[in-house]
Chain A
Amino acid sequence: MTTAAETILESTAVEHRRGFRRRWYRTPSFVIGLSILGLITLLGALAPVITWHDPAHQDLLATFQGPSFDHPLGTDDLGRDVLTRLLYAIRTDLQIAFLAVLFPFVIGTAVGLLSGYFGGRADTVANWFVNVVVAFPFYVLIIALVFVLGSGTRNIYIAITLVGWVAYTRIVRGEVLVTKRREYVLAAKTAGLSTVRILRRHILPNVITQAIVYAMSDIVLVLLAIVTLGYLGLGVQPPTPDWGRMIADGQPYLTTNWELATVPGLAIVFTALGLSLLADGLADLLRPE
């Protein structure tokens, strides 16, 4: 049935694809971003091995100490080891950031998928909610919500989810509107597949990549939001270490001990850089050919 030439052409096509699949290591932003994030995660995970201090342990007789072997980054105004707090804060902040993106990602994607596919009244209602949330500036809404709900990790999740889902709904809904008119969706219908099956296997995998790429850059935004809340005293409560709290605590001593606020600030910049590069590289890799 098949000519030899066609067979040869096919095999080269498959080889080419194999090359493409390994392309991730040739995408610099992805590799650098992944390395930075990997390093940070590793530091957070290995915190108890790297330092021998307790992040909440105060030593009022040893405040504002400069770098030494025992305290590589010195101590703060309460005599707590800065390096230890910095490392333990990775656990707090990254964990909250990832979870606070996961909830809106799942909810927003589901709403976008359904409203985009079925349209009609459900779509109108979803759109109305989206527009209401979008009408407020992100930070104003988050801060207002946390203020109302009270501070603490659980309420941060709730506030960020309430505000964050709309972005995913918008992205996914737009993609679904395009995808549902594609011929392969019609083909799936002519094959007699159920609506649930079509949504799950034929539409969702084709629209999810944009949402994933956005989620990566959203983590940066959420991380900054968490840190900002911490800085404002609305976020993670002491004594749990958190970079925002550390900056806020170090701020009064900016003229005498500038490193107290600067070091956690740099940690935030470094993490955000890693996440942004990762998002960038992922967008590159997932972009359809």
Chain B
Amino acid sequence: MTEPILQVRGLRVEFPLARGLVRAVDGASFELHRGEALGLVGESGSGKTMALRALVGLLPRQARPAGGEILFEGVDLSRVSAERLRQVRGHEIAMIFQEPLTALNPVMRVGDQIAEGPRVRLGHSRRQARERAIELMQQVGIPDPARRYEAYPHELSGGMQQRVMIAIALSLEPKVILCDEPTTALDVTIQDQILKLLESLRRKLEVSVLFVSHDLAVVAQTCQRVAVMYAGQVVETGPIDEVFREPRHPYTLSLLRSVPDVDVVRERLATIPGSPPDLAAPPSGCRFHPRCPFMQPDCTSGDFPLRPIGTERATACIHSEQCVQDVLREPVIAGG
């Protein structure tokens, strides 16, 4: 594909807590290409959100970055000054949050919140900024924008609030938009509208989208490529249809198998045995080995970096052929 706009290599985020050092992100690597949408999937606590926040240098107070490179157009964002990073935020990289209502200022008119970026960062006049905000509101499909401009966040529905968030993210014409589960808080019909909106905006404005979600169906609908995270690491990456049709990591396979299928009546939903590892004391070797159906003796020790398979895919599993055989026995149902 095209050149990467954002390259993350060996990213680490640590929480020094009383019960020990928790490595929330432990050597995660992935690439976001220009103009594409990359899905970052994983369970709760797999480090997706922390990885996202590390990209813009806004980790929670207790967390600390512990290494890795974040190359944005060739510049390592983990090494630039705080002021330079602030310039990058909004202008180059914008973010959309999970809960639009909590991510909007409750006592500020939504129009003013959209206009704030152009007004403060681009030095627009009051009127220019207002016009720009109304134009953005139109662009994200908010009907009657001049009237909605005056509304407060709680007066809008969840779908409209999320559209406002998207308008704010677009207001400085960033090159990358980070989405942190942007549709999880919405009901399914609105979710679909928002995903289609994001998709059309991505095509039209040629922005790159990094889409964090635990919902495989959402990622399948929106993204071209996917990176699967487990216990703070990226365990598999590749084009979405290939990964979902033919996973090469047992975790991805288990994840896909646990998606309910409306065509097949099953007594119980397939689940992954065991629970995600304690990140203060992760298992040695491959982190997935205690839960892995294909575990071999050599899985329990050593490093498991991403190794390329072909040109576009990579997996951390050293027995990925097991997955291939398993899929041959019983194809997975998910995928675009």
Residue ranges of A at the interface with B (Cβ–Cβ < 8 Å): 1-3, 6-7, 9-10, 13-14, 16-17, 182-184, 186-194, 197, 201-202, 205-206, 288-289
Bound Cα distance from A167 to B316, whole angstroms: 58
The interface residues of chain A lying within 8 Å CB-to-CB of B155 are 10, 13-14, 16-17
Main secondary structure on A side of the interface with B: helix
Minimal beta-carbon separation of B271 from chain A (angstroms) = 31
Contact of A2 with B168 in the complex, beta carbons under 8 Å:
no
**Given A1-B193, A288-B106, does the pair A190, B159 have CB atoms closer than 8 Å?**
no
Cross-chain contact A206 with B107 (CB below 8 angstroms) = yes
Instruction: State whether the Cβ of B291 lies closer than 8 Å to any Cβ in chain A.
Output: no
Q: Tell me if A190 and B105 are in contact (CB < 8 A).
A: no
Tell me, yes or no, whether B157 is within 8 Å of chain A by CB. yes
Residue of B nearest to A2 (CB): B143
Provide the bound-state CA to CA distance between A201 and B87, in Å: 19
Q: Which residues of A contact B104 (CB under 8 A)?
A: 184, 187
**Is B116 in the interface zone, CB < 8 Å from A?**
yes
How long is the Cα–Cα vector from A182 to B197 in the complex, in angstroms?
27
B116 and A17 contact, CB distance less than 8 A: no
Q: Mark B148-188, 1 if CB is under 8 A from A, else 0.
A: 10011011110110000100100010000010000000000
Asked if B103 and A184 make an inter-chain contact with CB atoms under 8 angstroms apart, the answer reads yes
With A1-B193, A202-B108, A206-B107 given, is the CB distance from A192 to B143 under 8 Å? Answer: no
Smallest CB gap from A4: residue in B: B143
* Closest Cβ neighbor of A195 among chain B residues: B86
CB nearest to A7 among chain B residues: B143
Using a CB–CB cutoff of 8 Å, the interface residues on chain B facing chain A are 56, 58, 86-91, 94-95, 97, 99, 102-108, 116-117, 120-121, 141-143, 147-148, 151-152, 154-157, 159-160, 165, 168, 172, 178, 189-190, 193, 197
How far, in Å, is B6 (CB) from chain A's closest CB? 15
Task: Identify which of A10, A16, A191 contacts B168 (C-beta below 8 A).
Answer: A191
- Inter-chain pairs besides A6-B160, A17-B152, A202-B105, 9 sampled, C-beta below 8 Å: A7-B143, A183-B103, A184-B104, A188-B105, A191-B116, A192-B88, A194-B120, A201-B116, A205-B108
Q: In the complex, are the beta carbons of B159 and A6 less than 8 A apart?
A: yes
User: A188 vs B152: C-alpha distance in the bound complex, in angstroms?
Assistant: 16
Chain A to chain B: the 6 pairs with minimum beta-carbon distance, closest first: A1-B141, A192-B90, A192-B89, A190-B95, A183-B102, A191-B90
Q: Give the docked Cα–Cα distance between A182 and B144 (Å).
A: 29
With A187-B95, A189-B89 already in contact, the answer to whether A201 and B108 are too (CB < 8 A) is yes
- Closest chain A CB from B33 CB (angstroms): 22
A9 and B157 within 8 A (CB): yes
Measured in the bound complex, the distance between the Cα atoms of B97 and A167 in whole Å is: 35
Partner of B87, one of A13, A16, A192: A192
Query: Max chain B CB contacts within 10 Å: which of A1, A190, A197?
Result: A190
The smallest beta-carbon distance between A207 and chain B, in angstroms, is 10
List 19 A-B residue pairs with CB atoms under 8 Å apart, sorted by A's residue number: A1-B197, A6-B160, A182-B102, A183-B97, A187-B95, A188-B105, A190-B56, A190-B90, A191-B89, A191-B90, A192-B89, A192-B91, A192-B121, A193-B90, A193-B117, A193-B120, A194-B86, A194-B120, A289-B154
Say yes or no: A10 contacts B89, CB within 8 Å. Answer: no
Q: How long is the Cα–Cα vector from A1 to B102 in the complex, in angstroms?
A: 24
Q: How far is the CA of A6 from the CA of B102 in the complex (A)?
A: 21
